[in-house]
Amino acid sequence: MAGRRRALAGGAGVCLALTLLAGCGGAAPDSARADVEAMLDRRATAVLERDAAAYRATEEPVVTTRGQRATGAAEFANLRDLPLASWSYDLTGFRRTGDRATAEAALRYRIRGYDKAPVTAVRALTLARDDDGRWRVASDEPSDKGTEQLWEQGPIRAVRGERSLVLGVGRSDADLRAYARLADRAVPAVTEAWGEDWARRVVVLVPKSLEEMAELLGAPASGYRGIAAVTTGEASGAARAPADRIIVNPDAYAVLGASGKQVVLTHETTHVATRAHTNAATPLWLSEGYADWAGYRATGRTAPEVAPELRRAVAAGRVPYALPTDADFGFSGDSGRLARAYEGGWLACRLIADRWGEVRLDEFYRAVAAHGKRPGAVEGALKDVLGTDLAAFTAQWREYVRAQLP
């Protein structure tokens, strides 16, 4: 028995020794994922430090089957004027087949002076291991869950205003400075209407065309053909939400007059200001109507000038029976329906400002969001802030529409 115990002990020692090398009876753990994560860390550092050689060292050194070398020096150069505070990759998925691998990564970056928290872009990576065992990026593209980024469309030009940062591709500095001047005027106009509880600065993206705008939004271009600009952001009310981006449709924006361009940027800046108080409880007639109210507030424009589509409907005896629904704001191709929705929401907010005062309008907006969910939110805010109910308010709104659009 003693001899048997010694044999078992010896065997255990052999097994322990093998474990240190390869795992007793198993294979060595695959370090590929950790190696890729380390490589992506080096790639991120290269971007932040503007180190082109270090960035190239993270890329596959041969031409890919798609005829380009990973993202290449071109896209790295496109980032040169983007003022970055941070840039990092979080590997969220990894699959290896021999010396090739595919991965999904969350690219998180912050623009210096504008983003309180990182903006996230979901990337699809193709990776290759070279003869020395080093993993490199063969391709870096938007994943099915993500959208194209501005630097993928060409070299970014950055123009800083007093309260704005305008980032453009294929645009002259003079063109971008014109956007910055309008954005700089929009910020104090919105602050005067809404208050100071927001960042009071905006980031404006100006792509080459409608098609490039749609790529940034990950949506068909047809849906935005007549839309001069949109604002992206997290409508969650989170204080640490990333800064919004105002994305311009240069094709539609170019046909506007000076006043129209200012109204558009003020409208979109209002969305930036109100984002922390905009959530699932907020109907689109309120969020879009309030943004239009702020946009037109200091212009002196009359209701018939601002709401021509709704005026035509009223003249034809088609006064809407209810406030616009969220579906009415869909980019479905029915431009008349969409225009009437915006105009109806604007008149609802204008009604509140006229009859209850601008302070109450702001309180009403915040009270709706504070409810947290859609059912009962408007009804509760109408009661608590304006001392009325939905039926009475709707009736007042219908009468207001008739009176303002003779």
Given CA atoms 91, 95, 96, 102 in this order, what sign does their dihedral have? negative
Query: Is 212 among the domain residues?
Result: yes
Query: Is 260 among the domain residues?
Result: yes
Rounded CA gap, 380 and 392, in Å?
13
Residue ending a domain, choose from 234, 267, 300: 267
Residue 263 has pLDDT above 80, yes or no: yes
Query: Is 21 among the domain residues?
Result: no
Rounded CA gap, 248 and 265, in Å?
9
Mean pLDDT in residue range 35-55: 96
Query: Is 8 among the domain residues?
Result: no
Pair 138, 177 in one domain: no
The pLDDT-based confidence of 134 (bands split at 50, 70, 90) is very high
The pLDDT-based confidence of 332 (bands split at 50, 70, 90) is low
**C-alpha distance from residue 253 to each of 112, 138, 260, 345, 380 (Å):** 27, 38, 9, 22, 38
Pair 246, 308 in one domain: no
Domain count, the chain: 3
Query: Is 13 among the domain residues?
Result: no
Residue 66 has pLDDT above 70, yes or no: no
CATH code of residue 125: 3.10.450.50
Residue 28 has pLDDT above 70, yes or no: no
Which residues lie below 8 Å from residue 272, measured CB to CB, with a gap of 6+? 190, 198, 199, 202, 231, 233, 243, 244, 246
Pair 161, 212 in one domain: yes
Pair 292, 403 in one domain: yes
Pair 244, 191 in one domain: yes
Query: Is 16 among the domain residues?
Result: no
Pair 108, 175 in one domain: no
Residue 10 has pLDDT above 80, yes or no: no
DSSP states along 33-91:
HHHHHHHHHHHHHHHHHT-HHHHHTTB-SS--TTSS-TTHHHHHHHTTTS-EEEEEEEE
Q: What is the pLDDT of residue 225?
A: 86
DSSP states along 267-313:
HHHHHHHHGGG-STT--HHHHHHHHHHHHHTTT---HHHH-HHHHHH
Pair 86, 125 in one domain: yes
DSSP H or E segment with residue 236: none
The answer to whether residues 99 and 128 touch, using CB atoms and an 8 Å cutoff, is: yes
Pair 77, 171 in one domain: no
Q: What is the pLDDT of residue 16?
A: 36
Domain that holds residue 324: 279-406
Nearest to 201 by CA among 238, 161, 150, 253: 161
Ranking 133-137, 143-147, 155-159, 207-211 by mean pLDDT, the lowest is 143-147
Which residues lie below 8 Å from residue 244, measured CB to CB, with a gap of 6+? 202, 203, 231, 232, 233, 271, 272, 275
CATH code of residue 176: 3.40.30
Query: Is 20 among the domain residues?
Result: no
pLDDT in tens, 174-228: 999 999 999 999 999 999 999 999 999 999 999 999 999 999 999 888 888 889 9
Q: How many residues does the chain have?
A: 406
pLDDT in tens, 268-318: 999 999 999 999 999 999 999 999 999 999 999 999 999 999 999 999 999
Query: Is 213 among the domain residues?
Result: yes
- For the chain, the maximum distance between any two Cα atoms, rounded to a whole number of angstroms, is 109
Rounded CA gap, 260 and 297, in Å?
13
- CB atoms closer than 10 angstroms to residue 300: 8
Q: What is the pLDDT of residue 3?
A: 44
Pair 288, 406 in one domain: yes
Residue 11 has pLDDT above 50, yes or no: no
pTM for this one?
A: 0.87
Pair 402, 286 in one domain: yes
- Would you state the torsion angle of the CA atoms of residues 297, 298, 300, 302, taken in this order, to the nearest 10 degrees? -10
Higher-confidence position of 8 and 89: 89
Pair 163, 97 in one domain: no
Pair 297, 402 in one domain: yes
Which residues lie below 8 Å from residue 131, measured CB to CB, with a gap of 6+? none
Residue ending a domain, choose from 146, 178, 213: 146
Residue ending a domain, choose from 121, 146, 171: 146
Mean pLDDT in residue range 3-24: 38
